[in-house]
Copies of this chain bind each other. A is one copy, B any other.
Amino acid sequence: MPDKETSRVEAFSDGVFGIAMTLLVLDLRVPHAGAAGAPRDSWSLLHALLALWPSYTSFVLSFGTVLIMWVNHHGLFKHAHRADNRLLFANGLLLLVVTFVPFPTAVLAEYLNKPAACAAATFYCGTFVLISICYNFLLAAVLPNRSPDAVGSSDHEKALARVRWAYRLGFAAYVVATVVAIFSAVAGVAICFSLWVLWVVLNYAPKRQL
């Protein structure tokens, strides 16, 4: 029964993660044929498609980040054996912010190559600071819901300590990215991209442990 409770929350969260990732494609806007200055031949359409690079960058960056968040979400829920109020609300808060991701992504796509790039990048990175905070809440909410068998085990405690450390580092790194983005949009976004790599290394190398 309590196990069924968790699996239901997980399946629902999976759905929300998946839809949020897929909706990102709606930010890619076709250069319209009817508009003034619209592409009239193949070269100008090619040019127009290449000019969308800020949209592609935002799309790939957000997709990858949400995908890693999804992997982490499951890694965390493996430790949960019951679903109490605190867990349900921490998870709901996280889903709220994950669902929000397509909006800062669209803002970044629109402004990355424009004078307002810094505000867009700061807004984008700031969203991930918020998500990091929610992950730390979720971790705190999972702790009292672990199965009694797991609590004493040293393997389990080590895995959790690693998660805790990674989450705190993630939070700090996104704060740095946000502060950097105030001065340089490109540098802020580059930090977000490199956090991908860091996250992968922390969670998967030398072998997948969580």
Question: Chain A's interface: helix, strand, loop or mixed, by majority?
Answer: helix
Query: Complex formed: what's the CA distance from A60 to B96 in Å?
Result: 7
Smallest CB gap from A27: residue in B: B30
User: In the bound complex, do residue A22 and residue B14 qualify as a contact, i.e. CB atoms below 8 Å apart?
Assistant: no
User: In the bound complex, do residue A208 and residue B85 qualify as a contact, i.e. CB atoms below 8 Å apart?
Assistant: yes
Query: Complex formed: what's the CA distance from A106 to B117 in Å?
Result: 27
Smallest CB gap from A103: residue in B: B28
A: contact size bracket? 35 or more
Q: Which residues of B contact A74 (CB under 8 A)?
A: 8
Query: Complex formed: what's the CA distance from A33 to B55 in Å?
Result: 14
Interface residues of A in 11-47 (CB under 8 A from B): 11-12, 14-26, 28, 30, 32-33, 39-46
Query: Complex formed: what's the CA distance from A111 to B101 in Å?
Result: 24
Q: Which residues of B contact A102 (CB under 8 A)?
A: 25-26
Which of B32, B59, B92, B123 is in CB contact (< 8 Å) with A49?
B123
Please give me the 3 A-B residue pairs with the lowest Cβ-Cβ distance, nearest first.
A42-B119, A45-B116, A15-B18
